[in-house]
Amino acid sequence: MDAIGHLVAGLAFVALGLAAAALQVWLWRFPMVPDPSGRDPHGVSTAPRSWTSVHRGLGYVFLLVLIAMLVPMVPRLWTYDEDGWTGAAILHAALGGLILMVVAAKIAIIRRFQRWGHLLPWLGGTLVLASLILVGSAAVPVQSVTAGATPEVRSVLATGCIRCHGLSTVARGAEDHGWGETLAEMRKKAAKRNQGDPTRGLSGALEAHLQRVLPSEAHHDRESEGEESEGEEDDD
């Protein structure tokens, strides 16, 4: 799954979380009655069975989408270089870990520790809030980096550039020497790891696109020098 696919899955993840949380709030308005089995000291809900089944189904789909995002994402964390761990990347990883812990806690309470059932609404709210922040932290760099890109360039950005770091690293901009040398360094690192050319032969198109959406300091310096030269010629 590429960066754009992760973002789409993340949006679906948030939508499912919001739907499940809203339904949970409604279901908790129904009164509780003693649990015939005696397992749950808080009793069982009198909410319509059909809607509790819908809520459970949303939970299962939510879990499946989470797994679908984590399976390709977690192994990639071990390949990140030191430049890949930006503030956004650290926040993203921390929120992912928090979501996993909250989901595990919810499953444990529902399946075994029913006496802690009164915490479920709080856990559900935490899950939705963490999901919103996680997807928001990913959406900003994806949008800033891929805006206006051709399909070919967008494909490279969404797959090649995330081998060693997330798009938040790209969104920080190039080093002082500009995008051309930054991409060349990216290709050298990939070659050392036997990963092939991450730019897929489109380094020129990538440089032009990134220079347009994320101008480097070197580019600004060249423009300033060009303007000064033009001004000196006009004075002459």
Q: Could you read off the pLDDT of 92-113 as tens digits, one per residue? A: 788 888 888 988 888 888 778 8
Q: pLDDT-derived band of residue 229, with 50, 70 and 90 as boundaries?
A: very low
DSSP element (H, E) containing 45: strand 44-45
> Given this model, what pLDDT does residue 226 score?
45
CB–CB of 87/70 below 8 Å?
Answer: no
Question: Is residue 5 scored above 50 in pLDDT?
Answer: yes
Which among 113, 127, 99, 95 has a CA at the least distance from the CA of 40? Answer: 113
% of the chain exceeding 90 in pLDDT: 0
Tell me how far apart the alpha carbons of residues 200 and 20 are, in angstroms, rounded to a whole number.
Answer: 42
Helices (H), the chain: 3-27, 49-77, 87-111, 120-146, 151-159, 167-171, 179-192, 203-213, 217-235
What does the pLDDT average to over 193-200? 77
Tell me how far apart the alpha carbons of residues 190 and 163 are, in angstroms, rounded to a whole number.
Answer: 9
Question: Is residue 216 scored above 80 in pLDDT?
Answer: no
DSSP element (H, E) containing 44: strand 44-45
Question: Is residue 230 scored above 60 in pLDDT?
Answer: no
Q: pLDDT-derived band of residue 175, with 50, 70 and 90 as boundaries?
A: low
Query: What is the DSSP secondary structure assignment for residue 36, as one 8-state letter?
Result: T
Tell me how far apart the alpha carbons of residues 236 and 234 are, in angstroms, rounded to a whole number.
Answer: 5
> Given this model, what pLDDT does residue 115 score?
76
> Given this model, what pLDDT does residue 174 score?
62
pLDDT tens figures, 118-174: 788 888 888 888 888 888 777 777 777 777 778 888 887 777 777 667 777 777 766
Any bridge partners for residue 45, and if so which?
32
Q: Where are the domains of the chain?
A: 3-146, 173-235
| 134-172 b/e (C-beta count within 10 Å ≥ 16 → b) | bbebbeebbeebbeebeeebbbbbbbbbbbbbbbbbbbe
> Given this model, what pLDDT does residue 227 score?
43
Which tokens sit at 1? 């799954």
CB–CB of 194/112 below 8 Å?
Answer: no
pLDDT tens figures, 32-86: 787 777 666 767 778 888 888 998 898 889 888 888 887 777 777 666 666 667 6
Question: Is residue 231 scored above 60 in pLDDT?
Answer: no
Whole-structure pTM over 0.75, yes or no?
Answer: no
Tell me how far apart the alpha carbons of residues 194 and 136 are, in angstroms, rounded to a whole number.
Answer: 33
